[in-house]
């Protein structure tokens, strides 16, 4: 592959990943399994996780073909978590497409998830013997973290007292863990040493934090046209995400109670969203949240600059920058 610009690299990667995903769309029997599997693999996405694997692989001169397989495994695993999460959250659509348990039924969605999880593990067998065990150990750890993170996320829904620390731990498990692993598997394909893998781990940690806090912020500040969900949805449903938890923290020092009431009432009316946004701005919550995103993306960038000079490193830097300024 001729290396040119970050943009071209990202495009070539996307093409390779989509090609592997297309190969997974086997339309054999039983159709009850493989039709929904193909349907869900058809959903478009930025394929952030394989992009990270491929970029890290490039930074450590790893085998590209292996990285394509392993990176796509991370995407397949990500899709598995979305399929099962959507059942648990009773979500009818995701990014405009009907969810599997809605289009088919819950039993089918459970099985499609199970199948994809198994497939993700299988795809990791593309790793050469030398890196297979480390890769699978990392994968196993990630499965555990994702399961723990998801149960915590669900527990928060009914818990009246969620601390910011507990919330950050949850997003570390639910979002950062897979981002870290995607980077680390890329490094593994290039036989990166322990210190470098640790390095990739830290980059992924900060990327995951920046990504999720930005996501929480966008829930209130995104353009409604781009967002694909009702703006302010988290506040309306009283979801204990970053903004609300930060607001509760500030209120504890100021003695105000608006957001404590929002939390107690399990949300607010859509007509209240503008007022809440205004209040969050006045309280400094919007700016401190933006600062948190900036802090984590800056840390990720700082660490990325220590990676071996390469198109892969530039790509990781570019992905971090895009993440911090994205509007949807």
Partners of 251 in the beta sheet? none
Q: Please, what is the minimum distance in Å from the beta carbon of residue 167 to a second copy? A: 13
Q: Please, what is the minimum distance in Å from the beta carbon of residue 149 to a second copy? A: 9
Per-residue binder mask for a second copy (CB under 8 A), 204-243, x = binder: ----------------------------------------
Structure tokens at 92: 């009818």
Q: Is 152 in the site for a second copy (CB under 8 A)?
A: yes
Gap between the Cα atoms of 134 and 130, Å rounded: 8
Gap between the Cα atoms of 215 and 289, Å rounded: 11
Interface with a second copy (CB under 8 A), residue from 50, 113, 187, 312 = 113
Gap between the Cα atoms of 152 and 169, Å rounded: 9
Question: Quick one: which of 77, 321, 306 has its CA closest to 210?
Answer: 321
Stretch that binds a second copy, among 133-141, 204-212, 227-235, 296-304 (CB under 8 A): 133-141
Structure tokens at 248: 């509760």
- Residues in 63-92 that interact with a second copy by CB under 8 A: 84, 87-88
Stretch that binds a second copy, among 10-18, 101-109, 261-269, 280-288 (CB under 8 A): 101-109
Q: Is 155 in the site for a second copy (CB under 8 A)?
A: yes
Q: Please, what is the minimum distance in Å from the beta carbon of residue 96 to a second copy? A: 24
Q: Is 168 in the site for a second copy (CB under 8 A)?
A: no
Which residue lies nearer to a second copy by CB, 60 or 156? 156
Pairing state of beta strands 97-98 and 93-94?
antiparallel
Stretch that binds a second copy, among 12-20, 55-63, 104-112, 283-291 (CB under 8 A): 104-112
Gap between the Cα atoms of 99 and 103, Å rounded: 6
Q: Is 94 in the site for a second copy (CB under 8 A)?
A: no
Q: Is 161 in the site for a second copy (CB under 8 A)?
A: no
Q: Is 39 in the site for a second copy (CB under 8 A)?
A: no
User: How many residues sit close enough to a second copy to count as binding (CB under 8 A)?
Assistant: 37
Enclosing H/E stretch for 126:
none
Partners of 98 in the beta sheet? 93
Question: Quick one: which of 12, 9, 41 has its CA closest to 26?
Answer: 41
Provide CB contacts within 8 A for 246, sequence distance 6+. Answer: 164, 285, 288, 289
Q: Is 151 in the site for a second copy (CB under 8 A)?
A: yes
Q: Which long-range contacts (CB under 8 A, 24 or more apart) does 304-310 make?
A: 304/203, 306/199, 307/59, 307/196, 307/199, 307/200, 307/203, 308/59, 308/60, 310/58, 310/59, 310/61
Interface with a second copy (CB under 8 A), residue from 24, 111, 168, 311 = 111
Interface with a second copy (CB under 8 A), residue from 42, 137, 274, 281 = 137
Residues that bind a second copy (CB under 8 A): 30, 32-33, 84, 87-88, 106-108, 110-111, 113-115, 117-119, 121-122, 125, 129, 132-133, 136-137, 139-140, 143-144, 146-148, 150-152, 154-155
């Amino acid at each position: 592959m001729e290396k040119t610009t970050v943009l071209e690299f990202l495009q070539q990667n996307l093409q390779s990943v989509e090609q592997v995903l297309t190969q997974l769309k086997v339309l054999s029997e039983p159709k009850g399994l493989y039709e929904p599997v193909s349907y869900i693999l058809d959903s478009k996405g930025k394929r952030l996780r394989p992009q990270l694997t491929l970029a890290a692989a490039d930074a450590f001169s790893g085998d590209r073909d292996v990285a394509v397989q392993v990176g796509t495994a991370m995407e397949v695993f990500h899709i598995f978590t979305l399929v099962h999460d959507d059942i648990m959250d009773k979500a009818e659509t995701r990014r405009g497409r009907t969810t599997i348990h809605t289009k088919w039924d819950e039993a089918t969605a459970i099985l499609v998830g199970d199948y994809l999880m198994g497939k993700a593990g299988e795809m990791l067998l593309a790793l050469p013997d030398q890196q297979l065990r480390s890769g699978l150990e990392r994968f196993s750890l990630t499965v555990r973290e994702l399961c723990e993170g998801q149960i915590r996320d669900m527990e928060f829904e009914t818990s009246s007292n969620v601390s910011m620390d507990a919330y950050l731990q949850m997003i570390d498990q639910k979002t950062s863990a897979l981002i870290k692993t995607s980077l680390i598997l890329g490094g593994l394909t290039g036989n990166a040493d322990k210190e470098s893998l640790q390095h990739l781990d830290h980059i992924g940690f900060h990327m995951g934090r920046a990504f999720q806090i930005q996501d929480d912020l966008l829930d209130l500040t995104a353009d409604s046209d781009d967002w694909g969900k009702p703006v302010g949805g988290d506040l309306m449903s009283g979801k204990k995400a970053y903004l609300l938890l930060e607001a509760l923290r500030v209120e504890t020092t100021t003695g105000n109670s608006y957001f404590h009431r929002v939390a107690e009432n399990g949300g607010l009316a859509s007509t209240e969203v503008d007022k809440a946004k205004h209040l969050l701005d006045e309280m400094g919550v919007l700016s401190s949240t933006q600062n948190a995103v900036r802090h984590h993306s800056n840390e990720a960038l700082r660490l990325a600059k220590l990676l071996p000079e390469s198109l892969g490193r530039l790509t990781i830097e570019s992905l971090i920058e895009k993440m911090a300024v994205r509007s949807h």
